[in-house]
Amino acid sequence: MTVIYKKVALIGLGLIASSMAHAMRTKGLAAEITGHAKSAETRATALDIGLCDSVFATAAEAVAGADLVVLAVPVGAMGAIAAEIGPHLAPGATVTDVGSVKQAVIDAVAPHVPEGVHFIPGHPIAGTEHSGPRSGFATLFVNRWWLLTPVPGSDPEATRRLRLFCEGMGAKVDEMDAPHHDLVLAVTSHTPHLIAYTMVGVADDLRRVTDSEVIQYSAAGFRDFTRIAASDPTMWRDVFLTNKEATLDILGRFTEELFALQRAIRLGDGDHLHAYFTRTRAIRRGIIEAGQDTAAPDFGRVAASSGDK
């Protein structure tokens, strides 16, 4: 693979940014990688493990001379970071992000992007429940979707170059408008995470089941709920506050479905339950056929080989 960007600045050095750094190194996509993290400990770790060529205490220093800037901070922090780096962005540079909400990021970041700098929001649909600079690995994005939501007037060549970069890390790239992205992710990610947090909370509140029983006798269903409920609380707080309308819409639909299932169970309507489970099972099979998971009983998450837990 040839170098696509001479200098890439990673603002935020958690799971996604560290995985990007590993992938860039492995594939030779960048000549130089700089980084910034708010925590001095994180900055020291990133240098110690060789994530970046140089790490800076301020985002403004990290972006100097970069032709690609990646905002990999919680959605709620995007606006302040954009305001800080705006005056220091190189002419012709591209700014992207990895947030799982897009319209709120556009609203927060776009006003601070100067003329002559390309802002192309993005979202890699990949991750684990782990965070921090040591959590990344080079294959995180392989065969995963990376969605780009170019703003009106985006430069086609800058978009093409960013697409090549994402594909170079192994991702499959698609484009869509920001409101549609936020609705799709409310269905596929945001609401499932909220339900997972709720189910774990229910188990915690159900005093007839002790903590030790919940932990010791966790079957696959509850085990996987706890896996995604272990995700970063700051990130998910910001997701729900910034994708409020779409999430509430999907939660309303979920509640209606749940009431229908409650009624079927109460009335002993086995036909309804069987038909419903048959339809949803087909959707799960479609996910496997699309290559986004495997049929393995561990849901394809073998820690020793992939790191995707």
CATH of the domain at 129: 3.40.50.720
For residue 145, the cross-strand partners are 172
Question: How many angstroms separate the CA atoms of 296 and 68, rounded?
Answer: 38
Q: Residue 267 maps to which CATH number?
A: 1.10.3660.10
| 42, 133 Cβ separation under 8 angstroms | yes
> Same structural domain for residues 108 and 205?
no
> Same structural domain for residues 141 and 213?
no
Position 305 in a domain: no
> Same structural domain for residues 138 and 19?
yes
Please enumerate in sequence order all residues whose Cβ is within 8 A of that of 94, keeping only pairs 6 or more positions apart, or say none.
5, 67, 68, 69, 117, 118, 119, 120, 158, 161, 162
> Same structural domain for residues 116 and 243?
no
Which of 176, 206, 223 is the last residue in one of the domains?
176
Report the pLDDT value the prediction gives residue 302, as an integer from 0 to 100: 46
Position 208 in a domain: yes
Position 304 in a domain: no
> Same structural domain for residues 10 and 154?
yes
pTM over 0.85: no
> Same structural domain for residues 68 and 151?
yes
> Same structural domain for residues 153 and 22?
yes
Report the pLDDT value the prediction gives residue 253, as an integer from 0 to 100: 87
Position 202 in a domain: yes
Can you read off the two tokens belonging to residue 44?
A: 């020291």
> Same structural domain for residues 105 and 246?
no
What secondary structure, in 3-state letters, does the chain show? CCCCEEEEEEECCCHHHHHHHHHHHHHCCEEEEEEECCCHHHHHHHHHCCCCCEEECCHHHHHCCCCEEEECCCHHHHHHHHHHHHHHCCCCCEEEECCCCCHHHHHHHHHHCCCCCEECCEEECCCCCCCCCCCCCCCCCCCCEEEECCCCCCCHHHHHHHHHHHHHCCCEEEECCHHHHHHHHHHHHHHHHHHHHHHHHHHHHCCCCCHHHHHHCCCHHHHHHHHHCCCCHHHHHHHHHHCHHHHHHHHHHHHHHHHHHHHHHHHCCHHHHHHHHHHHHHHHHHHHHCCCCCCCCCCCCCHHHHCCC
> Same structural domain for residues 46 and 129?
yes
pLDDT in tens, the chain (309 residues): 689 999 999 999 999 999 999 999 999 999 999 999 999 999 999 999 999 999 999 999 999 999 999 999 999 999 999 999 999 999 999 999 999 999 999 999 999 999 999 999 999 999 877 888 999 999 999 999 999 999 999 999 999 999 999 999 999 999 999 999 999 999 888 888 888 888 777 776 665 666 666 666 666 677 777 777 777 788 888 888 888 898 898 888 888 988 898 999 999 999 998 998 888 888 777 766 777 666 665 544 444 333 333
The residue segments making up the domain with residue 28 are 5-176
- The domain tally of the chain equals 2
> Same structural domain for residues 133 and 258?
no
Can you read off the two tokens belonging to residue 103?
A: 């319209």
Position 309 in a domain: no
Which of 154, 176, 198 is the last residue in one of the domains?
176
Question: How many angstroms separate the CA atoms of 130 and 133, rounded?
Answer: 10
Can you read off the two tokens belonging to residue 189?
A: 């990610």
Report the pLDDT value the prediction gives residue 163, as an integer from 0 to 100: 98
> Same structural domain for residues 234 and 278?
yes
> Same structural domain for residues 68 and 199?
no
Which of 155, 176, 197 is the last residue in one of the domains?
176
